[in-house]
Amino acid sequence: MKRTFDIVLLLTGGLVAWELLHLAVPFALTSPAGTAAKAWSMLTSAQFWPHAAETGKAFVYALLLAILGGLAIGLGLGLNRTGAEVAEPILVSIYSLPKVTLYPLILLIFGLGLPAKIAFGTIHGIIPIAIFAMNAVRNLANVHFKTARVLRLSRRQTLLTVVIPGALPEIVSGLRIGFSLTLLGVLIGEMFASQRGLGFLIMNAIGLHDVPTIMATILLLAVVAVSASAILLWLDHRLHHRVA
Amino acid sequence: MSARETRRTDVHAEMRGVTRVYGGSGGSAGVQALAETNLRLRRGEFYSVIGPSGCGKSTLLDVLAGLSRPTTGEILFEGRPLDGRVPDGVGVVFQEDASFSWLTVADNIVFGLRRTGVDAAEIARRLDHALRLMGLVDFAKAYPAQLSGGMRQRVCIARTLVMQPRMILLDEPFGALDAQTRLIMGDELLKVWRETGATVLLITHALDEAAMLSDRIGIMSARPGRIIEEIETRWPRERDSRIAANAAFGDITARLWSVLRDESLKAIRQGAGP
Amino acid sequence: MTRIGFLRLFFVAGFILAVEALCRTGAISPRVLIAPSDMAVRLAWLLASGKANADIAETLGNVAIALVLSVSGGFAIGAAIHAFPRLRRAIDPFLASYYALPFFAFYPLFIVLFGLGRGAIIAIGFLFGVVAMIIATLNGFDRIPPVLVRTAAIYHMGPAAAALRIKLPSAIPYLFTGVKLAIAYSFIGVIAAEFIMASSGLGYSISYAFNNFDNGTMYALMLFVIVLVTVVNALFYSYERRLMRRWGR
């Protein structure tokens, strides 16, 4: 419970710093109280929810695709030594590409709308999930695979009862990063070219110099992202603890 | 040498009523690693501490080295109480590989020496001597990664040696090595001990190692550990691992085990150890 | 060349050739994607004409400044956080979810703070890179073998000497990971910021070409960014490999 106290302390410190920054540059930054009030009025307004739903829908689809695709690529390559060695540097360099550059390509393929946003979110999230899953499988002790063979498990049984449970802690670490980057990808997609969604709201507000809306939208996103991340982090720690 | 010989029975380091409790600051009891322990090391002797796993052997070494403070009691080195720092003249070799992977063997060995204001010629002389003594001459420019575990531990011993410590503490230094390498390393350690005249305290869990190398052996109880018995071996100063063929070796090992067996059983029932 | 290297080259070359073939046969419309060879020709022409030089210089300058700031700042902040375990545990969930936030939205704030020039863009690049470096520094310091820290005590080393002579080299593999991520994120931050809100720089030029249906320029610049990032990464990767092989990590 000391930790909860520390987190509250840290948040309080952050709020104080925010307030001070607000007092220093009042026009660039809404105060914490003002932002919270604005966020509340957005949450209770009718216009907000269609945008949130739009972003949420794109995000859920993108995340599902990133997870399924990332695990398929990662587990497949992880089980194949040569494949993993060939693919690793390629995956790592794709991971470090500024994917915003690829956005025009995505738009030209999918056109403006939901599919483009989903695709953009997916290309952000899929690579880290694949890299973590691949390395998790590669790092599994060889004796586990030998045991599976001694127990005469089929390939499917080996995958389901040995590979995935053994690699799970690392896979969850990858999901944590994939989660964040997928959300970022969807939001950037909406900011660059979209008529709906939270990214569009932010971009619109930037155009209108509507600082309270920018801040309130980011605050709401931050609350969602930090909560989801905290849950995944907790799961991550638990799984790693169990293995270690 | 003669001055040192006449003072051989001097007390070099002493633990008086030392205990160590871990944790337990916030109202909880904590874990007692060391029960009240008394230990006197004679100047220039080779003393081994043996005990079941988890009994607090390493805690005893940490406290004696000044790496951690005792909860109660007092530690004297050369007549002066420790002040919470590692005193000058004490060298420590750990079980884990403590060589710096980013430095060559030679740079590893003189790492501590460079920090003491010893002049370059003297550094070169001591380095050369240590390389020779530990059989590392051909590896001076190699990086630790290119060496075997045994060779890396030699680097760590050499690094301790060049500081010319008057007391060397070793925490299961050969624990990670294979059985034959351990025997060889034991012989090297005896050579270092004879050559430097330093007092040596060796922590070990291996009966044969303790019996073969030591002048005296302290047996520790299961946790919370304390020294429950001391055995004197009366080996000649010139000795090596071939002493295992001596009939007395079997007697000493048997006496060690007769005390240690009960304590090891207790330790296993405590659920301690690896 | 090793078999693995050959296979890698085979796949990459095969992929490019397949795209080339699909474009040449008209299976992919030039309004969507132009052939890789056309991109290369167009890029060569663009570089030779010097038209893009100012944008390239500006973007690279921004990335370089953002990178230096985020690596040095991230290391210092990470080392400081690591010294306070309670702060560190409290801050963990925030660091972990940091990359889900679109900082571009803070652009108006940065314009007020840093003016309407490149300062605001660099600030975004820095914000993107610095947290990767902080996380890497924390990871690296976590994994320093305790025996090395105890060795520092044996040699009576103070906290600063121990950090510089023992902790930094010991944590170096993780710091390298941090630098690699900081390179990637600085590029992402700067180019994305230029893309969405600047009026010059590579990101802006790509976005401008897109809006004007100038696929030739757009794909040439995209190719430039991709090749540049890949080359920078490859250089750093090979330097790291050489060092790590010597140290045996």
Of C89, C102, C106, the CB nearest to A188: C102
Query: What's the CA gap between C11 and B193, in Å, rounded?
Result: 61
Q: Compare A111 and B109 and report the one with higher pLDDT.
A: B109
Q: What is the distance in angstroms between the Cα of C119 and the nearest Cα belonging to chain A?
A: 16
Length of chain C equals: 249
Q: Which residues contact A28 (CB under 8 A, 6 or more apart)?
A: A211, C108, C109, C111, C112, C113
The pLDDT value recorded for residue A102 is 85
Q: Which of A7-11, C63-67, C176-180, C206-210 has the highest mean pLDDT?
A: C63-67
Per-residue CA distances from C11 to A83, A86, A162, A182, B263 (Å): 11, 9, 30, 27, 63
Q: Is A82 on the interface with C (CB under 8 A)?
A: yes
Q: Are B182 and B148 in contact (CB under 8 A)?
A: no
Those of residues 143-162 in C touching chain B at CB distance below 8 A are 145-148, 150-151, 153-157
The pLDDT value recorded for residue A113 is 86
Tracing tokens 């990971």 back to the chain, one arrives at C177
Q: Which residues contact C84 (CB under 8 A, 6 or more apart)?
A: none
Residue C15 predicted with pLDDT over 90? yes
Per-residue CA distances from A66 to A121, B94, B152, C189 (Å): 8, 47, 46, 22
B192 SS3 class: helix
Query: What's the CA gap between B99 and B106, in Å, rounded?
Result: 11
Closest to C196 in 3D by CA, of C188, C64, A126, C51:
C188
Q: Are B166 and B78 in contact (CB under 8 A)?
A: yes
Partners of A3 on chain C (C-beta within 8 Å) are 86, 89-90
The pLDDT value recorded for residue B27 is 53
Residue B198 CB burial class (10 angstroms; 0-12, 13-18, ≥19): buried
Mean per-residue pLDDT over chain C, rounded: 87
The confidence band for A107, taking pLDDT boundaries of 50, 70 and 90, is confident
Stretch C208-228: mean pLDDT, rounded? 90
Contact call for B102 and C169, based on CB within 8 A:
yes
Q: What is the distance in angstroms between the Cα of C76 and the nearest Cα belonging to chain B?
A: 21
At residue B104, what is the residue type? T
pTM of this structure: 0.80
B16 SS3 class: strand
Chains that touch B (3 or more CB pairs under 8 A): C
Of A82, A202, A233, the CB nearest to C102: A202
Q: Is A128 on the interface with C (CB under 8 A)?
A: no
User: Taking the domain A49-243, which CATH number applies?
Assistant: 1.10.3720.10
Tracing tokens 């796949």 back to the chain, one arrives at C11
Query: What's the CA gap between C181 and B134, in Å, rounded?
Result: 43
- Residue A84 corresponds to which tokens in the numbers above? 């993993």
Q: Are B170 and B95 in contact (CB under 8 A)?
A: no
Those of residues 37-66 in B touching chain C at CB distance below 8 A are 65
Q: Are B226 and B20 in contact (CB under 8 A)?
A: no
Show pLDDT as tens, one digit a residue, over chain B (274 residues).
444 444 445 889 999 999 998 876 555 667 888 889 999 999 999 999 998 888 888 899 999 998 888 999 999 999 899 888 888 899 999 988 888 988 899 999 998 888 888 899 999 999 999 999 888 999 999 999 889 988 999 999 999 989 999 999 999 998 888 888 889 889 989 998 998 999 999 999 899 999 999 999 999 998 888 899 999 999 999 998 888 888 899 999 999 999 999 888 888 888 754 4
The pLDDT value recorded for residue C68 is 96
At residue C67, what is the residue type? L
Q: Which residue in C has a C-alpha nearest to residue A187's C-alpha?
A: C102
The secondary structure of chain A as a DSSP string is -HHHHHHHHHHHHHHHHHHHHHHHSTTTS--HHHHHHHHHHHHTSTTHHHHHHHHHHHHHHHHHHHHHHHHHHHHHHHT-HHHHHHHHHHHHHHHTS-GGGGHHHHHHHH-SSHHHHHHHHHHHHHHHHHHHHHHHHHTS-HHHHHHHHHTT--HHHHIIIIIHHHHHHHHHHHHHHHHHHHHHHHHHHHHHS-SSSHHHHHHHHHHTT-HHHHHHHHHHHHHHHHHHHHHHHHHHHHHHHHH-
The pLDDT value recorded for residue A38 is 93
Q: Are A164 and A99 in contact (CB under 8 A)?
A: no
To the nearest 5 percent, what fractions of chain C are helix, strand and coil?
A: 85, 0, 15
- Residue B10 corresponds to which tokens in the numbers above? 């001097």
What percent of chain C has a predicted confidence (pLDDT) above 70? 99
The pLDDT value recorded for residue B45 is 94
Q: Are A9 and C90 in contact (CB under 8 A)?
A: yes
Query: What's the CA gap between B136 and B140, in Å, rounded?
Result: 6
The secondary structure of C71-111 as a DSSP string is HHHHHHHHHHHHT-HHHHHHHHHHHHHGGGS-GGGGHHHHH
Closest to B51 in 3D by CA, of B185, B174, B195, B171:
B171
Query: What's the CA gap between B69 and B62, in Å, rounded?
Result: 8
Residue C50 burial (CB count, 10 A): 9
- Residue B207 corresponds to which tokens in the numbers above? 């009966």
Of C147, C156, C157, the CB nearest to B98: C147
What are the strands of the beta sheet with B72-77, ordered from one edge? B31-42, B11-22, B72-77, B80-81
- Structural domains of chain B sorted by starting position, each given as residue range(s) with its CATH number in brackets: 2-89+167-270 (3.40.50.300), 97-164 (no CATH)
The pLDDT value recorded for residue B25 is 57
Per-residue CA distances from A227 to A8, A50, A231, C96 (Å): 14, 22, 6, 11
Q: Compare B142 and A112 and report the one with higher pLDDT.
A: B142
At residue C136, what is the residue type? A
Parallel/antiparallel/unpaired status of strands B31-42 and B11-22: antiparallel
Which of C192-227 are b and which e, b meaning 16 or more Cβ less than 10 Å from the residue's Cβ?
bbbbbbbeebbbbbbbbbbeeeebbbbbbbbbbbbe
Q: Are C134 and C74 in contact (CB under 8 A)?
A: yes
The pLDDT value recorded for residue C57 is 93
Q: Are C125 and C62 in contact (CB under 8 A)?
A: yes
Tracing tokens 């309080």 back to the chain, one arrives at A12
* Three-state SS letters, A74-103: HHHHHCCHHHHHHHHHHHHHHHCCCHHHHH
Q: Compare C114 and C138 and report the one with higher pLDDT.
A: C138
Q: What is the distance in angstroms between the Cα of B271 and the nearest Cα belonging to chain C?
A: 24
The confidence band for C249, taking pLDDT boundaries of 50, 70 and 90, is low
Residue A108 predicted with pLDDT over 70? yes
Query: What's the CA gap between A194 and B205, in Å, rounded?
Result: 69
The pLDDT value recorded for residue B171 is 92
Q: Which residues contact C110 (CB under 8 A, 6 or more apart)?
A: C119, C120, C123, C124
Parallel/antiparallel/unpaired status of strands B90-93 and B11-22: unpaired
Closest to A106 in 3D by CA, of A185, A181, A51, A32:
A185
pLDDT tens digits along C117-172: 788 899 989 998 999 999 999 988 988 888 898 898 888 888 778 888 888 899 98
Q: Is A95 on the interface with C (CB under 8 A)?
A: yes
**C38-247: CATH class:** mainly alpha
pLDDT tens digits along A157-181: 888 888 888 888 888 888 988 998 8
Task: Give the N- to C-terminal CA distance of chain B in Å, as an integer.
Answer: 43
The confidence band for A244, taking pLDDT boundaries of 50, 70 and 90, is very low
Tracing tokens 């052996």 back to the chain, one arrives at B217
Query: What's the CA gap between A147 and C153, in Å, rounded?
Result: 44
In total, the C-beta contacts within 8 angstroms joining chain B to chain C are 53
Q: What is the distance in angstroms between the Cα of C4 and the nearest Cα belonging to chain B?
A: 25
